[in-house]
A = this chain, B = another copy of it.
Amino acid sequence: MLKSNMNGKRILAFGAHPDDIEFGCGALLLDAGEQGARLDLAVLSRGEAGTHGDRSTREEEARQAAAMLGAEIHFPSTAGDTRIRADLDATLLAAKMIRRLRPDLILAPSGHSNQHPDHRETSRIVRDAQRLARYGKTPGLEDVDPHATYSLLFYDISSEALGTDGLTPILVDVSSQVEQWKVLMSCHSSQVRNLDYIDLQLSRARALGIRMGVASALRLYSEGPLLVGSAEELGALKGPRM
């Protein structure tokens, strides 16, 4: 039986390379998809500069993962792997996607500096795009209606944004998705010959989960604080057990 609590909700996840989204927040997307949310993935390169895999292999792997998620995948045209830059063109392109898809929640890589430059730049593109998508007369976006999404959360790919200025962490229980998440990450078979990348995600989520009293938890970050609507909603948030 299908859960439908998120029916009508849309999530748009951005990644720099074909595997970033699945590694960074795949467990969350599996959960959201299961609950009926509509998922869109925007992948800004084919990972064609990476040591392993080539352009077409990696695109194909991303398509498989998207299929498993029940997500629509998009490959907007950018300068490509190692060349992604948070310039105006890339930002307007992302803003246009946001206006067209009108997501309730946007996901992007965390933007701390100590990681692949493409991750950082993608983060900045999305952060700015989310704002440009709102303003009534942004030049270059005239042909699509403005759209305001106030839920923008960042996910870690390799290193952690923790400790970065002005980010508020928020954890999500993904215990029920761990097995599926592993399968999902494995779609990127050119990248996971050795299992270190998968293990990084799983062991990080496991360590976070244990501290919070669940089997596995994913850490996301908001730029700025988060708001709940009432005392009741506040009561649903749990602090650490350890």
Contact = CB atoms under 8 A, between A and B. Distances in A.
A169 interface: yes
Interface string A207-239: 110111110010110111111111111111111
A239 B131 CA distance: 12
Given A139-B82, A225-B212, A170 B49 contact: no
Copies in the complex: 6
A77 B164 CA distance: 34
A1 interface: no
Given A150-B213, A225-B170, A85 B82 contact: no
Interface residues of A, number: 100
Contact of A105 (B114, B224, B235, B241): B235
A206 B205 CA distance: 11
Interface centre among A88, A208, A242 (most CB of B within 10 A): A242
A146 interface: yes
A56 interface: no
A161 to B, nearest CB: 9
A68 to B, nearest CB: 16
Given A150-B239, A197-B210, 13 more contacts: A82-B132, A83-B88, A117-B128, A148-B241, A150-B238, A152-B239, A163-B163, A164-B165, A170-B228, A172-B227, A172-B230, A203-B206, A204-B207
Interface of A: 5-6, 9, 28-29, 31-32, 35, 37, 48-52, 80-83, 85, 87-88, 91, 104-105, 111-117, 124, 127-128, 131-132, 134-139, 146, 148, 150-153, 158-159, 162-166, 168-173, 196-197, 199-200, 202-204, 206-208, 210-214, 217, 219-220, 222-242
> When A and B form their complex, which 6 residue pairs have the shortest distance between CB atoms, in order from nearest?
A51-B136, A158-B242, A32-B231, A224-B240, A203-B203, A203-B206
20 contacts: A51-B146, A82-B139, A83-B88, A85-B88, A112-B166, A113-B127, A114-B224, A115-B242, A117-B128, A150-B238, A151-B235, A163-B165, A170-B225, A170-B227, A172-B234, A203-B210, A207-B207, A212-B227, A224-B239, A227-B239
